[in-house]
Chain A
Amino acid sequence: METEPTLPKEIIANLENKYRLNDPLWKQYVDYLTDILVPRFSTAEEVPSLLTDALIRFDVGAVHVKWMNFGPSYASRARTVNDIFKAQLPISAQLGVLALCIALTIGIPMGILAALKQNTRWDYLGMSVAIFGVSVPVIVLGPLLIWIFAVTLRWLPATGWGTWQQAIMPSVALGLGSSALIARLTRASLLQVIREDYIRTARAKGLQERLVVIRHALKNSMIPVVTVLGPLFAALTTGTFIAETIFGIPGMGKFFVTSIGNRDYPVIMGTTLLYAIFLVIANLIVDITYAWLDPRIRYT
């Protein structure tokens, strides 16, 4: 049972036939790309098949349009890569957004505090707390949180996803790690901005220090922070394997790890492609945010 006999050649041949693996490599690649890029049109009622499943499906009159077929998962005989995207990605995105929110709520105030009181006790304390967040790995923080809040205090459920109670511990465990990065960037950036001429001008015209910081310095100092938000969000959404394992969350992160162990090539390809798309979109949003933060930035 804990072993697996080598399958008879014929069985392997059947599997290769089914998954088109006996085609030459270049043809497999071309087919793969075609399946993703070229929409399929059909009028006949088709029997659902994992091989022809597609991410986007709609009807134009009597014509069925199927577009973006990422192929079946080898590890599961019931699901396709599209199924995984549809069911698991939203969960990861929710977790990613929540973790990012926590990272920002902790990181930015901490960074501001540290910058305004540079090289004082506050600076060190703030940075210490922030770095502590990143230093305690999720592997330890996760079980620790479960032990305290689920098993001992019985305040929160230990595993699962779907209710706000279930979301608290994993978002905190993930968000704390990134808050250090945000705090450090905020601090560094604010330190630079605060010495710019226009801040000096603002001060010189007698503006309250609080207003100077909030209205003038902070907005501009956010540019480096916003820059990392894109990649950070992509990382938080996809790189959550450990948190998912510990808290039993049915997210995307595990596929980045398990698909490699399983040699589940369509899932590896699909998730990588997805990550790249994610990164591009996130960076686009970041670019747009730049223009709002600093009107001097123009794109031609």
Chain B
Amino acid sequence: MAVQESAIGQTLERVKIKERKQASLWADALYRLLRNRAAVMGGLIAMGLILVAIFAPWIAPRDYATQILTDNNRMPSWLLNLFPSSKGYVQISEGYLLGADYVGRDLFSRIIYGTRVSLSVAFMGPLIALLVGTVYGTISGFFSGRVDNLMMRFVDIMYAFPTLLLIILLMAVFRSTTQATVPGTLRYTLTSIDARVGGMFFIYIGIGITAWMGMARLARGQILSLREKEFIEAARTIGAGNVRIMVRHILPNILGPLIVAETLAIPTYISYEAFLSFIGLGVNPPTPSWGSMIADGAMSLRSYPNQAIFPALALALTMFAFNFLGDGLRDAFDPRLRGTGK
């Protein structure tokens, strides 16, 4: 009994040390991040976008779905001065800050509400990727040997599959085979979940399914280098189980690089949504998403440039924010840059 007590005590001691060290690692990173002006700006914009998404109903002057058909394609006069080529056929209506779309919906309000869709893709994609990928990669890396080999070959095979093709394939399958209308079946449940979130559910899954492989590889690589470290050895000696080691000791240490990688991948996910909208596999109308607005607007770029350009600007701003934030985070976490003074 006594022996065991002391062992636990030792572990606790070690954990404490670990935590202190960890805290300093994260604090160090934060300090570094805050000194990176671009990253701070990116972070601020990202936070602003999140706020816009949350408070969309307060910010948007109109409802995103209400149409005034007779107001279709209208522009306010300041826009018309900006795009003089549209003069002559566009009717002026000052009531729309950025103009109205093809069925007379307020473009500005739709962009505001569209933040929700784009940001939800931006976070749900990585979340699924992190959850699945990290668990998969951790198991694979931790057990090594035959399990690792088998699991990683599967990832390799999936990797050779073109990402977009896989997403389109998945979307096409989801969309076509889940149109069940008999309540109580799994298909029906999935379809109604999808319908409730405006057709976003399958986009999350599609992105998640294709994104986890990168995460799995990264996580495995990190673990392989960690596994042989002394503190893991120590934890094992004092009798910690596999799960405990994985969750308590390994995960916190690899989370940083994983989060960085996912932040950098966010713009890619957002552009996937735009691509899917372009080929008609995006959200269900009237759910506003930047991707579908850009896809619709691009068709009328010649006649009504505002309908594509403003959602595209919103998308660009978001990409800017996450790119800079991601870069900043990476710089902050990368131990090799530590102590270089910059």
A residues engaging B (CB < 8 A)? 118-119, 123-124, 127-128, 131-132, 134-137, 139-140, 142-144, 147, 151, 180, 184, 188, 191-192, 195, 234-235, 238-239, 241-242, 256-257, 260-261, 268, 271-272, 275-276, 279-280
Contacts and interface: CB of A to CB of B under 8 A. Distances in A.
A256 B172 contact: no
B162 A275 contact: yes
Contact of B36 (A119, A147, A242): A119
Contacts of A132: 316, 320
B317 to A, nearest CB: 8
B134 interface: no
19 contacts: A127-B324, A134-B319, A135-B267, A137-B271, A137-B294, A139-B274, A140-B308, A143-B302, A143-B308, A144-B301, A180-B323, A192-B334, A195-B336, A242-B275, A242-B278, A260-B172, A261-B172, A268-B165, A272-B162
Given A140-B298, A239-B164, A128 B312 contact: no
B161 A143 contact: no
Nearest to B309: A140
Sorted from nearest, which 7 A-B pairs have the closest CB atoms? A135-B316, A135-B319, A276-B160, A143-B301, A139-B298, A275-B162, A140-B312
B71 to A, nearest CB: 24
Nearest to B318: A135
A260 B168 contact: yes
B38 A139 contact: no
Nearest to A192: B336
Contacts of A184: 323, 327
B177 interface: no
Interface in B297-342: 297-298, 301-302, 308-309, 312, 315-317, 319-320, 323-324, 327, 330-331, 334, 336-337, 340, 342
B295 interface: yes
A131 B162 contact: no
B37 interface: yes
A279 B160 contact: yes
Nearest to A246: B298
Contacts of B164: 239, 256
Most buried by B among A184, A241, A257: A257
A241 B320 CA distance: 25
Nearest to B37: A119
Interface string B259-279: 000000001000100110011
Contacts of A276: 160-161
Given A119-B36, A140-B312, A195-B336, 6 more contacts: A131-B320, A131-B323, A134-B267, A137-B274, A144-B301, A242-B278
Contacts of A134: 267, 271, 319, 323
Contacts of B308: 139-140, 143
Nearest to A255: B165
A79 to B, nearest CB: 20
A132 B319 CA distance: 8
A195 B309 contact: no
Contacts of A238: 162
A299 B298 CA distance: 49
Nearest to B35: A119
Contact of B279 (A119, A128, A241): A241
B234 interface: no
Contacts of B315: 135, 137
B169 interface: yes
Contacts of B36: 119
A184 B38 CA distance: 14
